[in-house]
Amino acid sequence: MEKHVLALQLSHILGEKLTRDWIYENIEVPKKEKMGDLAFPCFKLAPAFRKSPQELARELAPQLKHDLFECVQPVSGYINIFLNQEFTTEHTLKQILTERASYGKHSFGEGKTVVIDLSAPNIAKPFSMGHLRSTVIGNALANLAEHCGYETVKINYIGDYGTQFGKLLAAYKMWGNEERVKSNPIAELTKIYVRFHEEAKEDPELIEEGRGWFKKLEQGDEEALTLWKWFKDASLEEFDKIYQMLGVEFDLTRGEAYYNDKMVATVDLLKEHQLLAESKGAQVVRLDEEGLPPCLIKKSDGTSIYATRDLTAAIDRYQSYSFDEALYVVGHEQSLHFQQIKHVLGKLHFPWARDVKHISFGMMLQNGSKMSTRRGKTILLKNVLKEAIQQAKINIEEKNPGLENKEEAARQVGVGSVIFHDLKHDRRNDVEFSLSDMLTFEGNTAPYLQYAFVRAHSILQKGAFDPHQAETHLNDEKAWPLIKQLRAFPQIVEVAYKEYDPSKVAKYLLELARLFNQYYTHTKILQGEQLQKKLTLVYGFSIVIKEGLHLLGIEAPEKM
């Protein structure tokens, strides 16, 4: 709020030369408390007003007046603003208590729809740690979008088509065993898929065999379709178990194969716009002007490629949802692909092509290398989640053996630890898989945050706090850092969504929990004066940290 007030006042004072949005973006939060709670640098104003930054600061500072501002000082070309702590504390706590779970919500997304493509595992392959990133980043972005007012559509675009399935069909025909596949479908299909690639190194003709089976699948061969549907149904059943553990739901689950009979219309549209060109027997859309290699539409053998399906899917999604944004939460190794898709859609004169955005992320690494199913180098997410839950249960047994519902608490803590380990990293960075780091229940982890919430809940219970008796007029210097952090939550939500970066919420929550624990350590909350006021602050903290965890897709147990 105070940044908006400051930006509004400065824009009125400075006139039309600078917009309120520009001023808002340039307001800073000083690193040292002695320099104020907010600061505005006048250096960028100097050329436009032909005055030194120091002179501008001296002129502007006396004109800034508001109940929020305790003191406004010009210092070395900066305007330093100290907030009125008493006024700000009361306003912040009142707002949190009034809005509760809605605290931090925004309206800039109201009336708009965002479609989010996330998770997207391939059938007949294990749901590995490599699939975790798209799933939890996409789910967190959907939660953030909803908190900003958007209507969200979460789509799980299953990889159930393409030449790799021709290879799988070929592998099954050569080495598959029906009973073994029925008893353990994913593991058995992965085993023969890996074997296919190993033997293809010595026998290149196997690759042609795989292509032949994919062509059969595209042409509707009965045997190929029957096997493919069996593999798909078995895979989806396994995937659903993982999503249930993660607490992730989708509005639509749809495979690439859905667009098999719809791609003809897309190819016809490309022809109509005279975009198709022949290249070595294949059909492509040239992107020379964009500085990109051609986008392959049809291979020389006439089979389709995933670019054709992605173009068709994008058109279908706009026709179905009239989205304002279409986010593809896919690894950065697919950056070129999505650049090509966006430019081809633009060449088709779809104005919404500009709203198609690739939300890239780094890889989940194992010993510094990318995980790969075809090389048999992968770690199953299901196993990691189970181990995390088991470790959480052991910790709970050691620290709180009398706890009721241990199984449920262990699930919340264990799953939360896996999700948070991913989301605390900037999505653009690679993440090294480390089970020990994931399961550490101290430091920058979900259990650290969850325990801060548990501690707050316990304090409120011991103090018999009644929200209806809340008192917001707290006068406590030690509470000020925590108040400022609570006040920052709405801005963090906005920035996290606009930059498509859930790690901003994760890092915010770590600092929030640290400041709460600091306050708890140095303040006798249940003793002395201002009891109800201190409990109101604890209650406000509990609301914000619980909602922040929810945005990341993590539950907050009341006891652990």
Token pair 């009361």 is at which residue?
90
Which residues partner with 380 through β-bridges? 128
| In the predicted structure, residue 164 carries a pLDDT above the cut 90 | no
Contact 374, 197 (CB under 8 A): yes
HSE of 27, CA atoms in CB hemisphere, 13 A: 22
Contact 88, 27 (CB under 8 A): no
What is the tens place of the pLDDT at every residue in 414-434? 999 999 999 999 999 999 888
What is the tens place of the pLDDT at every residue in 89-101? 999 999 999 999 9
Look at residue 28 and give its three-state secondary structure. Answer: strand
Residue 351 lies in a domain: yes
Contact 132, 422 (CB under 8 A): yes
| In the predicted structure, residue 498 carries a pLDDT above the cut 90 | yes
336 and 405, same domain (yes or no): no
Measured CA to CA, the distance from residue 264 to residue 255 in angstroms comes to 17
Look up residue 350 and give its DSSP letter.
-
Q: What is the pLDDT of residue 437?
A: 82
349 and 456, same domain (yes or no): no
508 and 406, same domain (yes or no): yes
Backbone angles phi, psi at 199, to 5 degrees: -75, -25
Measured CA to CA, the distance from residue 103 to residue 81 in angstroms comes to 25
Of 416, 417, 395, give the one whose Cα is nearest residue 406. Answer: 395
Average confidence score pLDDT of the chain: 93
The residue among 42, 61, 83 that closes a domain is 83
Residue 34 lies in a domain: yes
Q: What is the pLDDT of residue 374?
A: 52
What is the tens place of the pLDDT at every residue in 296-319? 999 887 777 889 999 999 999 999
341 and 393, same domain (yes or no): no
Residue 538 lies in a domain: yes
Q: Domain total for the chain? A: 3
421 and 361, same domain (yes or no): no
The band of 376, judged by pLDDT with boundaries at 50, 70 and 90, is: low
Residue 89 lies in a domain: no
CB-CB neighbours of 526 under 10 Å: 12
48 and 153, same domain (yes or no): no
76 and 124, same domain (yes or no): no
Total-model pTM? 0.92
256 and 132, same domain (yes or no): yes
CB-CB neighbours of 459 under 10 Å: 19
Residue 96 lies in a domain: no
What is the tens place of the pLDDT at every residue in 391-418? 999 989 998 999 999 999 999 999 999 9
Residue 296 lies in a domain: no
442 and 472, same domain (yes or no): yes
Q: Are strands 276-279 and 252-255 parallel, antiparallel or unpaired?
A: unpaired
210 and 344, same domain (yes or no): yes
What is the tens place of the pLDDT at every residue in 254-265? 999 999 889 999
Q: What is the pLDDT of residue 304?
A: 74
DSSP, residue by residue, 76-139: TTEEEEEE-HHHHHHHHHHHHHHHGGGTT--STTTT-EEEEE---PBTTS--BGGGHHHHHHHH
Q: What is the pLDDT of residue 375?
A: 54
Of 330, 129, 327, give the one whose Cα is nearest residue 242. Answer: 129
Range of the domain at 389: 381-551
339 and 396, same domain (yes or no): no
397 and 540, same domain (yes or no): yes
Token pair 């992320």 is at which residue?
361
What is the tens place of the pLDDT at every residue in 426-457? 999 999 888 778 777 778 999 999 999 999 99
Residue 140 lies in a domain: yes
What is the tens place of the pLDDT at every residue in 46-91? 998 999 999 999 999 999 999 899 999 999 999 999 999 999 999 9
CATH number at residue 514: 1.10.730.10
The band of 18, judged by pLDDT with boundaries at 50, 70 and 90, is: confident
CATH number at residue 349: 3.40.50.620
